[in-house]
Amino acid sequence: MHRSKGEEEDYWNSSQFKAFTFDDDEDDFTKLRESRLAVNSIKLTDDDEDDVEKVNWSGEPVGSISWLVGETSALSNQKTDFPKVSSESSLNKSGSGLSLSALFRGKSSRGSYPNFSDSVSEPSSRLFAPELRRPRADYKDFVGDLSPEEMVQRLQQGKSVGMERFRSLQDKMLLLDFAVNGNDGNAITAVLIFLKRTLSKEVLFRELESRQTALRHFIHFLTETHEQRLLLDLLRALGRVEDAALLQYKEHLAISDENKKRDFLKSCISLPFSLEDAALVQDHFTLLERQIIIEAADSQAEKSGKVEVFQNFPRKASILNMPMITTLYYCVYYHYCEPEGTYSSPSNLRQTFKISDKQFFVTCLSALSKLRSWTDVDSLFQSRSWLGFSRKKSPLSFSRVVDVLHKNSAPTHVLAQYVALVEDSELRLSLAQKHKCHDIVINTFRDLKDRQMLVQYQTKVDPGSNEDCKIKDLLNNSIRWKN
Amino acid sequence: MAAAFRRDAPPQPDFSLLKRLARDQLIFLLEQLPGKKDLFIDADLMSPLDRIANVSTLKQHEVDKLYKVEHKAVVSSADQLCFLIRPRIQTVKWICDLVKSDKAVGRVRRYKIIFTPQKFFACEAILEEHGAFGDVSCDQWDFHLLPVDDDIISLELPEFFTDTFLAGDQRWVRTVGSALHLLHSLFGPFSKVYGIGRIAKMVYESFRIQLQTEETRTRGDAQIGNVFIIDRDVDLVTPLCSQVVYEGLVDDIFRIKCGCVEFSPDVTSSEKSVKVMLNSQDKVFNEIRNEHFSNVFGFLSQKARTLQTAYDRRRGMDIKQMKTFVSEELKGLKQEHRLLSLHIGASEAMMKRKTKQDFQEMLRTEHSLLEGFEIRECINFIEEHINRQVSVLESLRLLCLLSLTENGLLPKDLRSLKAQYLQSYGFEHLLTFSSLRTLGLIQEQQTTETLSAVETRVRLTAGRLTEAFSSLAKKSNFRALSRRLNLVPKSEDYDLRVPKDMSYVFSGAYVPLSCRLIEQVLDREGWSGLEEVTRLLNRHEFSVTGSTSGSEGSSGLTSGAGSGLGSTSSPGFGPDSQRRVLVLFLGGCTFSEIAALRFLARERGYRITTVTTAITNSSRLLESLVQNKV
């Protein structure tokens, strides 16, 4: 925002449209100094939080004659100007004392530079196709004595410039601050590439620490160019150890050999993750380690042809690199009855990875119904109260249970068992109808004393079947029907 | 109310000019490399290129063979290779490797890269570093704006979202500024620019400076008067909601790419899938695109009946009548028949897929989240979703919605949901969660306790800006915003056939925040009265008026609009240009938002053109953040 301050004033002073002013036309430099002080004293100004100036643009009253004339006067050479909106500036939070003085230097020396944009502004011959104009580096001769400000302007226009002239750290940072202030990421990165080449990383990192916008651009550039080492050094130098740990952990994605990946993950465990993430990385390692063992044993067993379950339900894919829950599903499917001591026993997995009851239940339910071992499914629901009789209990709603069973194409008599346990009578009825659990439907209508519905339902069952007889019996019975 | 003053909206400006300009410049650039050449095109540039030029245009300018950039070895035997690419470092590196391997076998070729929409210094630096600078010449094709429909212009830059809001890289600011500048010179001059968001401000500034430094001429008779610029991260809730207007639903399920969709065999009820252009040219689509899905069936069957009657008229025709019928009507009827059966097929396929996924229950959960009602049940639903390993993205979407609407998750909920998510979908999603946190899509609720913990931590690290502050994420304040802006209408029976506000695009449950802001600012012609709202949105709002200079007489072209209306300046009464509004979404917008804006335009007599960096939806948005790529 400081960049064009001078120009801005010149323009407005000479302009006939003086009426347009910012209400809060505060001195940028006062503000700069204040925010600098603030930054120096607390060092935790959030990057964006401070941007509270509101643009109160008061012009000629909208709707006045002159406004309307301005609106409607249609001239081919009219030029529309817009007021400036202050966007966030990195200048007012530059951390090192250095660039502030540099800034003033830049300001005072401004007059000595030729006004580049004036001297070389291209004559426009086209009427309305500015984008046909190709960006060309036609004016390289002028580049030698450009001010940082003008340099950045050229960068923004996509013109290549030699930045070698900027040798002192002050000049370099001035250039960077101007680039950041111009908001154009392309120009910012161009300056950063120059700085990366001409500054030692210690110096560069130190300067970037207080320039968050530039820092983000640098990190993104290094990420895209895959300069992993330098990026890790940068993050560590900034004390962003968790980010560095995550970045290192990310490398595992590129490793295809499972043993190498396991070893790599093991080395990740000691990285400075947050407490929570550290446990998860540990789990990741443990899981892959397990999967490798299980995979080896099972493919052996499958080949030997001696284990029945592998013969009946051949494995479709390797378990390596599958999510935890898929692994659990696999182990329920192939190793349900194993004692807790083995690596592949479901209950062992449950303990090792602290799988929640509900999660464990859901996975067992779908794996066992896939296997169609309905007795095992049934036993999942057993619980014994202290009175000794058992009642089916489920951490999952019974309608959801029915859903899971249905998706695994459970037979009607199995479904009926669980539909009957749905508490909400409406839901029970609709599920029973959907899954053709006739008994439940009939009993529900009987309980509701709804003769009409029962008569209607009779059409849906096979004539002469057990259900049909049952309905007939009921209809002949002396129930006090409500209708 | 507003309906009483409703006026017919002015006609849409003709944006096809943009296509012509882009095509002309491409031809100009191809002519810069005379002679036969093979052309390599970035995969994601193929569809946009298709919209403005065709193979014969390229052939006319001596393009011999066409290849897709695939980052593999090249088989071309041409002496000149031309690359039409997005400015991506990966692609430039691939070209460097190609040049190197050619050199190694002593092969001499000419290489030219045409970057679009912009050439980046970083790409040139890569060429330099790999010793290919000079061997490869670089050019820039300013193909910024692709009109994908009468009222939609896309920059086709999906990476804008992650580059800008996740990485904090402002590389596209200038690009969008130039795009705006182009629109200003072709369809402006703009008289008012409103905006909200950090990047919106930057884009406006870039536009303003280009206006200042480059000789800009406008055509004079302003076609577009008002501009509204909005950052996607101002409203992340809307793009994460399930879409229920027809066009949005088609995009969610089949993915509309550059105005074109591929319908799978279950839609076409044939062996193969069909590619169809979806825009206002498709008469059937044009009538249902903005409709709530529940109305579409009725509409289509009504349409089918009318079609049947039209066909039936053939009976009892004599030869002469039949002849006229065949020559005048039959073709149109057949066309309509084809489109109708296509959209009926699509509707059926979508119904089937959605009923399979408990869509109804999902919508109920979403609506509860938006309303802030029965949050515990919502969490249980999400948890079950995760436990059952239902789609990776759907679970993530619900988690993000939960966090955004609740202004963060309770620490213990976050810990448990994250752990379960990782168990269900893979531990590598640790990286995904880190990105989501950076963007503010999933956050921990800041209790006073945790706040002070962060503060102490910052003090401990003595002046170090720790990662807690490196994030661009903001508090979402959704609940408070929703109350202030009345985003969740009082639940009563909402007749979706007769929508009464923009909330119809989400079944009457939610007015998109982005669209509500646009509506309010256009109504008020500024931000006054919205101070509390902008505070909750972390500020960065602006509203500026352009001044027109150089008036040496008036052509009187539009003077009629000025006279007689006196001091009224409400957009509904101004000249046509004042009622033409350009809404620019930085980081993508959804078809639901476009539908809502179309509704707004109809209500208020505006003509709204949506310009967006890309069309987005929840899957695209989240996919770009799922970090299981190297």
Interface predicted TM-score (ipTM)? 0.88
Look at residue B611 in the predicted model and tell me its pLDDT: 96
Look at residue B154 in the predicted model and tell me its pLDDT: 95
Look at residue B562 in the predicted model and tell me its pLDDT: 30
Question: Are the Cβ atoms of A74 and B554 closer than 8 angstroms?
Answer: yes
- Chain B contact for A119 (CB, 8 A cutoff): no
Among residues A77, A75, A79, A8, the alpha carbon closest in space to that of B548 is found at A79
Question: Are the Cβ atoms of B431 and A250 closer than 8 angstroms?
Answer: yes
DSSP bridge pairs for A384: A390
CA–CA separation, B365 vs B371, rounded Å?
10
Query: Residue A18 — pLDDT band, cuts 50, 70, 90?
Result: very low
Question: Are the Cβ atoms of B422 and A254 closer than 8 angstroms?
Answer: no
Higher pLDDT, B322 or A227: A227
Question: Cα A36 vs. chain centroid, distance in angstroms?
Answer: 33
Look at residue A78 in the predicted model and tell me its pLDDT: 53
- Chain B contact for A71 (CB, 8 A cutoff): yes
Tokens linked to B570: 């409400």
CA distances A183 to A312, B395, B539, B546, Å, are: 65, 36, 18, 22
Higher pLDDT, B233 or A416: B233
* Chain segment B566-590, per-residue pLDDT in tens: 333 444 445 677 788 999 999 999 9
Chain B environment of A280 (Cβ under 8 Å): 419, 422, 427, 430
Look at residue A70 in the predicted model and tell me its pLDDT: 32
Nearest CA in chain A to B28: A132
Query: Residue B462 — pLDDT band, cuts 50, 70, 90?
Result: very low
- Chain B contact for A369 (CB, 8 A cutoff): no
pLDDT over 60 (residue B376): yes
Ramachandran region, residue A327 (left: φ > 0; alpha: ψ -120 to 50; beta: rest):
alpha
Mean of all residue pLDDT scores within chain A = 73
At B229, is the secondary structure helix, strand, or coil?
Answer: strand
Chain A environment of B389 (Cβ under 8 Å): 323, 325-326
Nearest CA in chain B to A206: B464
Q: Which of A74, A82, A131 sits opposite B544 (nearest CB)?
A: A82
pLDDT over 80 (residue B314): no
Look at residue B220 in the predicted model and tell me its pLDDT: 63
- Chain B contact for A283 (CB, 8 A cutoff): yes
Look at residue B62 in the predicted model and tell me its pLDDT: 86
Q: DSSP secondary-structure letter at B73?
A: -
Query: Residue B428 — pLDDT band, cuts 50, 70, 90?
Result: very high
Residues B543, B204: contact at Cβ < 8 Å? Answer: no
Question: Are the Cβ atoms of B543 and A123 closer than 8 angstroms?
Answer: no
Query: Residue A408 — pLDDT band, cuts 50, 70, 90?
Result: confident
- Chain B contact for A355 (CB, 8 A cutoff): yes
- Chain B contact for A87 (CB, 8 A cutoff): yes
DSSP characters for B91-135? HHHHHHHHHHHHHHTT---EEEEEESS---HHHHHHHHHTT-BTT
Show which of residues 437-466 on chain A sit within 8 Å of chain B, judged by CB atoms. none
Nearest CA in chain A to B210: A157
pLDDT over 50 (residue A38): no
CA of A217 vs chain B CAs: smallest distance (Å): 5
Look at residue B268 in the predicted model and tell me its pLDDT: 80
Question: Are the Cβ atoms of A132 and B415 closer than 8 angstroms?
Answer: no
- Chain A contact for B471 (CB, 8 A cutoff): no
Chain B environment of A322 (Cβ under 8 Å): 426
- Chain A contact for B168 (CB, 8 A cutoff): yes
Query: Sign of the C-alpha dihedral, residues A132, A135, A137, A138?
Result: positive
* Chain segment B203-247, per-residue pLDDT in tens: 999 999 888 887 767 666 778 889 999 999 999 999 999 999 999
Residues B88, B96: contact at Cβ < 8 Å? Answer: no
Q: Which of B174, B219, B547 sits opposite A184 (nearest CB)?
A: B174
- Chain A contact for B436 (CB, 8 A cutoff): no
- Chain A contact for B182 (CB, 8 A cutoff): yes
Question: Are the Cβ atoms of A190 and B121 closer than 8 angstroms?
Answer: yes
Among residues A279, A377, A276, A400, the alpha carbon closest in space to that of B383 is found at A400
- Section B594-602 average pLDDT: 95
Higher pLDDT, B451 or A355: A355
How many residues appear in chain A?
A: 483
Look at residue A468 in the predicted model and tell me its pLDDT: 84
Q: Which of A80, A85, A252 sits opposite B201 (nearest CB)?
A: A85
Question: Are the Cβ atoms of A74 and B220 closer than 8 angstroms?
Answer: yes
- Chain B contact for A164 (CB, 8 A cutoff): no
DSSP bridge pairs for B38: B81
Residues A72, B575: contact at Cβ < 8 Å? Answer: yes
At B485, is the secondary structure helix, strand, or coil?
Answer: helix
Helix (H) or strand (E) holding A156: helix A148-156
Chain B environment of A87 (Cβ under 8 Å): 198, 201-202, 205
Look at residue B629 in the predicted model and tell me its pLDDT: 56
- Section B453-469 average pLDDT: 44
pLDDT over 50 (residue B459): no
Most confident of A314-323, B464-473, B572-581: A314-323
Look at residue B132 in the predicted model and tell me its pLDDT: 87
- Chain A contact for B354 (CB, 8 A cutoff): no
CA–CA separation, B128 vs B135, rounded Å?
10
The three-point CA angle B623-B627-B629 to 5° equals 100
Chain B environment of A67 (Cβ under 8 Å): 569
Question: Are the Cβ atoms of B545 and A57 closer than 8 angstroms?
Answer: yes
Other Cβ atoms within 10 Å of A370 Cβ, number: 17
Look at residue A385 in the predicted model and tell me its pLDDT: 57
Question: Are the Cβ atoms of A359 and B387 closer than 8 angstroms?
Answer: yes
Question: Are the Cβ atoms of A78 and B555 closer than 8 angstroms?
Answer: no
- Section A259-269 average pLDDT: 95
Question: Are the Cβ atoms of A284 and B538 closer than 8 angstroms?
Answer: no
DSSP characters for A185-254? HHHHHHHHHHHHHHS-HHHHHHHHHT-HHHHHHHHHHHHHTT-HHHHHHHHHHTT-HHHHHHHHHHGGGG
CA–CA separation, A459 vs A477, rounded Å?
19
Chain B environment of A178 (Cβ under 8 Å): none
- Chain B contact for A168 (CB, 8 A cutoff): no
CA of B322 vs chain A CAs: smallest distance (Å): 49
- Chain A contact for B97 (CB, 8 A cutoff): no
Helix (H) or strand (E) holding A45: none
Other Cβ atoms within 10 Å of B461 Cβ, number: 14
Look at residue B229 in the predicted model and tell me its pLDDT: 96
* Chain segment A444-476, per-residue pLDDT in tens: 888 888 888 888 888 888 888 888 888 888 888
Q: What is the pTM of this model?
A: 0.81
pLDDT over 50 (residue A59): no
Question: Are the Cβ atoms of A240 and B182 closer than 8 angstroms?
Answer: no
- Section A239-260 average pLDDT: 93
- Chain A contact for B48 (CB, 8 A cutoff): no
- Section B555-561 average pLDDT: 28
Q: Which of B163, B190, B389 sits opposite A80 (nearest CB)?
A: B190
- Section B82-94 average pLDDT: 93
- Section B165-169 average pLDDT: 93
Look at residue B510 in the predicted model and tell me its pLDDT: 94
CA–CA separation, B491 vs B473, rounded Å?
32
Tokens linked to B26: 């491409």
Higher pLDDT, A109 or B141: B141
- Section B428-437 average pLDDT: 93
Look at residue A383 in the predicted model and tell me its pLDDT: 67
Look at residue A9 in the predicted model and tell me its pLDDT: 40
Question: Are the Cβ atoms of B469 and A69 closer than 8 angstroms?
Answer: no
Q: Residue B48: is it exposed, middle or buried by C-beta count within 10 angstroms (0-12/13-18/19+)?
A: buried
CA–CA separation, B193 vs B581, rounded Å?
10
* Chain segment B13-47, per-residue pLDDT in tens: 889 889 999 999 999 998 888 888 888 999 889 88
Nearest CA in chain A to B170: A185
Test mutation, B124, B137, B173, chain A, max A CBs within 10 A: B173
Nearest CA in chain A to B627: A250
* Chain segment B492-528, per-residue pLDDT in tens: 778 888 888 999 999 999 999 999 999 999 999 999 8
Look at residue B574 in the predicted model and tell me its pLDDT: 53
Mean of all residue pLDDT scores within chain B = 84
A with B: how many residue pairs have Cβ under 8 Å apart?
347
- Chain B contact for A268 (CB, 8 A cutoff): no
Show which of residues 276-295 on chain B sit within 8 Å of chain A, judged by CB atoms. none
Crossing angle between the packed helical segments B411-425 and A275-304, to the nearest 10 degrees? 20
Look at residue B560 in the predicted model and tell me its pLDDT: 29
Look at residue A75 in the predicted model and tell me its pLDDT: 35
- Chain A contact for B60 (CB, 8 A cutoff): no
Show which of residues 183-222 on chain A sit within 8 Å of chain B, judged by CB atoms. 183-190, 193, 209-210, 212-213, 215-217, 219-221
Look at residue A27 in the predicted model and tell me its pLDDT: 39
Query: Residue A79 — pLDDT band, cuts 50, 70, 90?
Result: low
Nearest CA in chain A to B167: A220
pLDDT over 70 (residue A136): no
Look at residue A55 in the predicted model and tell me its pLDDT: 30
Show which of residues 317-336 on chain A sit within 8 Å of chain B, judged by CB atoms. 321-326
